[in-house]
Amino acid sequence: MQGDDFTKRKLWGGRFTGETDPVMHAFNESLSYDQRMWAQDIRGSQAYAKALVDTGILTADEAEQIRAGLARVGEEWRAGQFKAAPEDEDIHTANERRLKELIGSVAGKLHTGRSRNDQVATDMRLWLMDEIDSLISLSSELVSVMANRAREEVSVLMPGYTHLQRAQPIRWSHLLLSHATYFSYDIERLRALRKRISLLPLGAGPLAGNPFAGLNREALAKELGFEVVGPNSMHSVADRDFVAETLMWCSLFSVHVSKIAEDLIIYSSAEFGFVALSDAYSTGSSIMPQKKNPDSLELLRGKSGRLFGNMAGFMMSYKGIPSTYNKDLQEDKEPLFDAVDTTTACLKILIGVINPEKMRGALTTDMLATDLADYLVRKGIPFRETHHISGSAVKLAEDRGCTLADLTLEDLRTLHPKFEEDVALVWDPEQSVERRNATGGTSKRAVLEQVEKLLAQW
């Protein structure tokens, strides 16, 4: 095959004499979306060219020609000047085709002993490690923003809810830190996942390994920044567990985003009025001028469905594939790319969205019913008994149409003789939260301790 014929045939074309149906070419191609891995594909190919010198397939001069040629291809991609050809199926064939145009026939040696099977697996892992590093950085920034805001606003009290009913007074910071704790565990999971992504497939060939003696896969791994070499060539080319895990991580992360978004949507409503959303993250109504809609939060909440769908769809494609590489695995990229893009956008929006305003006015003394029970516990009465007494006090206040704090000492003594003048101290919400001073509690000391622990992680 001479001249430009090399650049016009497919890598697998020698077996075939007929033309590919254009519909099949469009159905089969992946360049339209896997081109985003151009930099990783070039990095992998440059490292592989260097490794081929040790096998005797390439001379040092040829390897340098390939490295320099690939660098030029990369410059074209970076400048937005790379022009895809109609026959380019994917990022690998596009880059190799352009390399041949730039440096000639020596480019044909680059693919020796290598398959697109191990090449695409390598590119994906390289790309994903870069993205994971970015997600870890953004997630750490989110936790730091939340922790610092919690420290600044530690004096703000609000109702804590169970079953969306007012339960006990807490600090706003405590609520914020509860969400930050979810995100801190997300970061831990992401770091553990990155170690499993950092496994080199290059050198596995199509499935059985590289046939050329002298190929140093350990050196390849070091060159490309992988922690370990894939221990089994069949596993290396077929494994997409790391894709599944990433999609699972994005789905779980989005659930945590949805939880805080829901809290803030509720608390920013006129009925609650605890927080006000910044104009930068709100929209108005097309017909009702008074409205300020929490669209950013609603979109954050809605993205959880999209991210779960990415995970579920890929798992259905992945579940029934026989060993080793099958074209079904091409379905890994679009959900992965979308999940990473969506998660990155969610992080950036969430970092800027939190803006608390008023909460203490919603604190009511009925939320201190447990404190009333605890008051009697400190007088030596069993909690199961004091719980019943406190419930009777709530009922008495309801019957009289007053608050718990409006009950007199004489009223309370009709329920139990252990009530004394100091029961008046129970109705201070600040004292209530300060009594929750055990590790993880909502006292100022406990909250600030949580802040410092979170910030110390990054």
Q: Are residues 332 and 200 in the same domain?
A: yes
In a domain, 457, yes or no: no
Q: Are residues 95 and 226 in the same domain?
A: no
How large is the average pLDDT for residues 122-146? 96
- Range list of H helices, 79-202: 91-103, 116-152, 172-197
Q: Are residues 308 and 272 in the same domain?
A: yes
Assign 18 a pLDDT band (cuts: 50, 70, 90): low
Q: Which residues of 249-268 are buried (b: 16+ CB within 10 A; e: fewer)?
A: bbbbbbebbbebbebbbbbb
How large is the average pLDDT for residues 29-33? 88
Q: Are residues 141 and 247 in the same domain?
A: yes
Q: Which residue, 112, 141, 164, sits at the end of a domain?
A: 112
CA 288 to CA 130: how far, in whole Å?
45
Q: Are residues 326 and 232 in the same domain?
A: yes
Q: Which residue, 112, 136, 167, sits at the end of a domain?
A: 112
**Backbone angles phi and psi of 306, in degrees to 5:** -60, -45
Domain of 398, in residue numbers: 364-443
pLDDT at residue 44 above 90? yes
Q: Are residues 243 and 261 in the same domain?
A: yes
pLDDT digits (tens, 9 = 90+) for 88-109: 999 999 999 999 999 999 999 9
The most distant pair of C-alpha atoms in the chain lies apart, rounded to whole Å, by 106
In the chain, DSSP finds a helix count (H) and a strand count (E) of: 18, 4
**Backbone angles phi and psi of 364, in degrees to 5:** -125, 155
How large is the average pLDDT for residues 231-251? 97
Tokens of 148: 């610092």
Nearest residue to 250 (alpha-carbon basis) of 352, 120, 138: 138
pLDDT digits (tens, 9 = 90+) for 343-390: 999 999 898 786 444 445 555 666 677 888 888 888 888 988 888 888
Nearest residue to 374 (alpha-carbon basis) of 366, 365, 383, 384: 383
Q: What is the pLDDT of residue 4?
A: 47
DSSP β-bridge partners for residue 169: 159
How large is the average pLDDT for residues 49-78? 97
Q: What is the pLDDT of residue 374?
A: 85
Find where tokens 């910030």 sit: 455
In a domain, 454, yes or no: no
Length of the chain: 458
Residue 165 belongs to what H/E stretch?
strand 165-171
**Backbone angles phi and psi of 229, in degrees to 5:** -95, 140
SS3 70: helix
Assign 135 a pLDDT band (cuts: 50, 70, 90): very high
pLDDT at residue 143 above 60? yes
Q: Are residues 147 and 100 in the same domain?
A: no
**Domain count within the chain:** 3
Q: Are residues 184 and 324 in the same domain?
A: yes
Q: What is the pLDDT of residue 61?
A: 97
Assign 16 a pLDDT band (cuts: 50, 70, 90): very low
Task: Give catalytic residue positions.
Answer: 163, 285
How large is the average pLDDT for residues 161-167? 89
Q: Considering the chain, what percentage of its residues have pLDDT values greater than 70?
A: 89
- Report the DSSP pairing between strands 199-200 and 157-162: unpaired
In a domain, 456, yes or no: no
Q: What is the pLDDT of residue 458?
A: 66
In a domain, 144, yes or no: yes
CA 430 to CA 11: how far, in whole Å?
73
Q: Which residue, 330, 360, 390, sits at the end of a domain?
A: 360
Assign 12 a pLDDT band (cuts: 50, 70, 90): very low
Q: Are residues 217 and 337 in the same domain?
A: yes
pLDDT at residue 340 above 80? yes
How large is the average pLDDT for residues 422-438? 83
Q: What is the pLDDT of residue 5?
A: 47
In a domain, 448, yes or no: no
Nearest residue to 146 (alpha-carbon basis) of 170, 168, 175: 175
pLDDT at residue 58 above 70? yes
What one-letter code names the amino acid at 12? Answer: W
Q: Are residues 287 and 380 in the same domain?
A: no
